[in-house]
């Protein structure tokens, strides 16, 4: 059993912890303690292994991608912006590319290159990275913070807790940091899956799993009131609905909410007007021919027609007013009742975490325990898909690292 002294201990070798390490003042004696045998396991699978590290839009626009907590992130995002992030990696030999949708990736499309750049930075500065060291306890003792990890004891002046959230637990993030913070007196906003797919009560579109709609619309209804509306790409899966539109909306959803999904870009009333005009103009054609213009796969189009109680091969001219309205509902306001959201095994992020009221947004330091810092998903921060979670992890990590004065 060892007892070692460091200026700084970083708990967790994910993007937030490794970025904090990269921004520590020169010459500090620091160690990164990682629970698993390898660092950055979630980073390696991010963006399907390609790592969508940030987005191109102006940093001032980022805040709206983190729900009600975006404002709190402002100092961290301004201190280490998306441009700073891209430059950081380019200067370390990882050129980045920006897609037409405004997403940044390493040009190699290999998340491993991002991780390698962070690791080689540690090696260059002589900083230690110790695997197999799950931190179990952090105890303030006079002016020191004493850390128990894997049978060893570490004493330090400053600790950065960067242990992530609770999603994809096989990558190492299992809510440890929130437990450590709670034991030190911090309030924890209950953890829930974010960026999670929707499991509906009934899923008549299950046979169409794999079909996607690039520009779908979504409204969310609770107790007869509209509580959320959004537009974006959506995917039908075997168990329900996913894709950026659904994942980003997950933080606003609860069981029993009614979703109205639009597979069309035109509003329902306009769609109805258009098909009524079509029926008058060329009613001799079949319903499926009339709706051929809808930019959906043939299978999805015909399934939606059947969902409206209409025979795709029947004559459009025979459609009653009711059936035309049912078609407009199926294509532009398809009803889905939420049974549940996918659990932590499928969610790409965690909502909830260390309460932001108790952390200084200008330094990432705890307002309760001096010398204790937080960075990344351990905090009550969850962003939209598109690089916003990694930017938050990198920005909060950089700010925590820069704020530590030894
Ligand atoms: C499948 C998937 C794809 C994703 N794709 C993207 C994407 O393309 N773009 C994007 O912006 N975001 C993406 N995300 C989200 C993003 O990966 C996370 O938000 C980000 O990794 C959070 O970084 P972090 O450093 O806070 O936590 P993590 O990456 O979770 O790292 C935490 C680290 O702490 C370690 N740890 C935990 N407990 C302890 C302990 N007690 N002691 C020591 N170490 C501990 C863990 O083992 C882990 O290595 C994706 C997530 C998933 C699951």
Ligand 1 atom showing the smallest separation from residue 41 Cα: 49
Distance from the alpha carbon of residue 83 to the mean position of ligand 1, in angstroms: 21
Distance from the alpha carbon of residue 377 to the mean position of ligand 1, in angstroms: 7
Instruction: Kindly report, as residue ranges, where domains of CATH 3.50.50.60 are found in the chain.
Output: 3-193+345-403
Q: Give the rounded percent of residues in the chain with a pLDDT score beyond 70.
A: 99
Closest Cα to atom 4 of ligand 1: 46
pLDDT at residue 1 in the model? 63
pLDDT tens-digit profile of 253-291? Answer: 999 999 999 999 899 999 999 999 888 887 688 999 988
Domain 3-193+345-403's class? alpha beta
The span from the CA of 61 to the CA of 234, in Å, is 23
Contacts of 275 (CB under 8 A, 6+ apart): 290, 291, 316, 324, 327, 328
- Contact between residue 318 and residue 324 where contact means Cβ atoms under 8 Å apart: no
pTM of this structure: 0.90
Nearest C-alpha neighbor of 265 from the set 190, 332, 350, 334: 332
> How confident is the model over 294-312, as a mean pLDDT?
93
pLDDT at residue 295 in the model? 80
The secondary structure element, H or E, covering residue 322 is helix 321-332
**CA 118 from centroid of its chain's CA atoms:** 21
CA-to-CA separations, 206 to 18, 115, 238, in angstroms, rounded: 41, 37, 5
Is residue 7 classed exposed, middle or buried when 0-12, 13-18 and 19+ CB atoms within 10 A define those classes? middle
The span from the CA of 61 to the CA of 320, in Å, is 47
């Amino acid at each position: 059993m060892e007892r070692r002294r460091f200026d700084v201990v970083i708990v967790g070798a994910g993007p937030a912890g490794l970025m904090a390490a990269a921004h520590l003042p020169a010459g500090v004696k620091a160690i990164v303690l990682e629970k698993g045998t390898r660092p950055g396991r979630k980073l390696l699978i991010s963006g399907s292994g390609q790592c969508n590290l940030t987005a191109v839009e102006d940093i001032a626009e980022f805040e709206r991608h983190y729900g009600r907590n975006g404002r709190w992130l402002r100092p961290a995002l301004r201190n280490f912006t998306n441009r700073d992030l891209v430059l950081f990696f380019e200067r370390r030999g990882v050129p980045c590319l920006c897609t037409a949708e405004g997403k940044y990736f390493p040009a190699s499309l290999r998340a491993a290159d991002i991780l390698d750049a962070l690791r080689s930075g540690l090696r260059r500065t002589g900083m230690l990275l110790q695997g197999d060291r799950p931190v179990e306890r952090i105890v303030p003792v006079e002016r020191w913070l004493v850390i128990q990890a894997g049978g060893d004891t570490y004493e330090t002046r400053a600790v950065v807790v960067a242990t992530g959230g609770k999603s994809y637990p096989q990558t190492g993030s299992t809510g440890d940091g929130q437990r450590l913070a709670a034991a030190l007196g911090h309030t924890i906003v209950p953890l829930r899956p974010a960026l999670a797919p929707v499991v509906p009560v009934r899923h008549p579109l299950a046979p169409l799993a794999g079909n996607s709609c690039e520009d779908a619309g979504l409204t969310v209804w609770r107790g007869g009131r509209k509580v959320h509306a959004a537009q974006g790409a959506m995917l039908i899966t075997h168990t329900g609905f996913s894709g950026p539109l659904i994942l980003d909306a997950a933080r606003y959803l609860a069981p029993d909410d009614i979703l109205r999904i639009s597979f069309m870009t035109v509003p329902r009333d306009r769609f109805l007007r258009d098909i009524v005009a079509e029926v008058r103009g060329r009613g001799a054609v079949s319903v499926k021919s009339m709706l051929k213009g809808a930019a959906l796969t043939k299978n999805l189009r015909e399934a939606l027609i059947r969902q409206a109680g209409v025979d795709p091969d029947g004559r459009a001219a025979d459609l009653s007013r009711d059936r035309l309205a049912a078609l407009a509902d199926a294509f532009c306001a398809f009803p889905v009742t939420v049974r549940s959201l996918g659990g932590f095994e499928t969610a790409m992020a965690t909502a909830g975490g260390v309460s932001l009221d108790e952390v200084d947004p200008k330094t990432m330091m705890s307002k309760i325990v001096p010398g204790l810092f937080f960075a990344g998903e351990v905090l009550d921060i969850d962003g939209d898909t598109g690089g916003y979670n990694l930017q938050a992890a990198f920005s909060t990590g950089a700010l925590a690292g820069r704020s530590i004065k030894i």
